């Protein structure tokens, strides 16, 4: 796994590909906006490619990090896509947060072409990508995961194989479901403290030492109190993810009433102009509609 192609250089893919280049892999990158791949090649020891076919030719491992199911079909399928141009024996790793069904579809397509496939959505946000401390949840065969694991370790704090193809995506859904409820609960708690005219920072300092403690409280309560929402995963992206969760829930007959409600609360935040605010901005909705 010494030659890697990285497709998609957004806020996550850009530093992830950079970690591979700094680790000594031969890295070729492609991005839909060519200026971004050119800038990446200026920042890191790697090559910017004009086409996907050029990027994946001869690659041991091909990694993708794009927007959604439709973007995955665009980069994987067709005469210029990954499946038609990556070499037999390559392992394809997808870091996009997408549906389980597209992961299963791409895994089968890869198998027919003599390639491996691992769906490997990540958690940790832009900061985790930049610091090389992402949590990666994977779906695929043990053999494909064993080949991809040493490469992913260059930007992972934790990574695990969760089961067959699609299991990584389903685990990421669990992650997003949990976060949605936690952020809403924290928002309501802080809003209550404000309305009760308590010293909110002092309240957080006390309750964060007990059962109410969470990553969100430790890392986002201060900026929520200050009304600063430029620190992570955007509301637009969260709504995309929660839509995937709710669709999968219907397939597996799972009940997600809180998740569905919080999804609508995020729609309210979007209508307030907060599409690019981070997910902790749920508190602004409470402040506006109190």
φ, ψ of residue 137 to 5 degrees: the values are -110, 125
Catalytic residue, chosen from 22, 172, 251, 275, is: 172
What is the rounded CA–CA span in Å between residue 229 and residue 69?
Answer: 27
Active site residue 172: yes
Please state, in angstroms and rounded to a whole number, the distance separating the CA atoms of residues 249 and 254: 5
CA distances, 278 to each of 41, 213, 223, 268 (Å): 29, 20, 10, 14
> Cα–Cα distance between 21 and 253 in angstroms, integer?
43
**Of 91, 85, 19, whose CA–CA distance to 56 is shortest?**
85
Catalytic positions, written as ranges? 172
């Amino acid at each position: 796994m010494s030659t890697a192609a990285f497709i998609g250089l957004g806020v996550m893919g850009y530093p992830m590909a950079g970690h591979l280049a700094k680790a000594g892999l031969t890295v070729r990158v492609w991005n839909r906006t060519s200026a971004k791949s050119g800038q990446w090649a200026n920042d890191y020891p790697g090559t910017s490619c004009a086409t996907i076919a050029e990027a994946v030719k001869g690659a041991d491992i091909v990694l993708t990090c794009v927007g959604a199911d439709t973007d995955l079909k665009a980069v994987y399928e067709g005469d210029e896509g990954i499946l038609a141009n990556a070499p037999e024996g390559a392992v394809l790793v997808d870091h996009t947060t997408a549906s389980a069904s597209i992961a299963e579809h791409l895994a089968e397509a890869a198998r027919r072409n003599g390639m491996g496939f691992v769906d490997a959505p990540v958690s940790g946000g832009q900061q985790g990508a930049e610091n090389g401390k992402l949590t990666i949840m994977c779906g695929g065969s043990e053999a494909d995961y064993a080949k991809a694991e040493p490469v992913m370790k260059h930007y992972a704090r934790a990574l695990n194989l969760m089961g067959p193809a699609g299991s990584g995506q389903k685990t990421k859904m669990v992650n997003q479901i949990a976060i949605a409820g936690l952020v809403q609960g924290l928002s309501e708690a802080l809003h209550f403290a404000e309305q009760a005219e308590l010293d909110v920072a002092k309240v957080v300092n006390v309750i964060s030492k007990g059962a109410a403690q969470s990553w969100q409280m430790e890392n986002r309560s201060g900026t929520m109190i200050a009304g600063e929402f430029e620190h992570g995963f955007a509301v637009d992206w969260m709504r995309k993810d929660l839509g995937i969760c709710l669709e999968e829930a219907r397939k597996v007959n799972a009940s997600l009433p809180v998740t569905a409600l919080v999804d609508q609360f995020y729609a309210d935040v979007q209508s307030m102009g907060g599409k690019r605010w981070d997910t902790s901005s749920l508190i602004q909705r409470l402040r506006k509609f109190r």
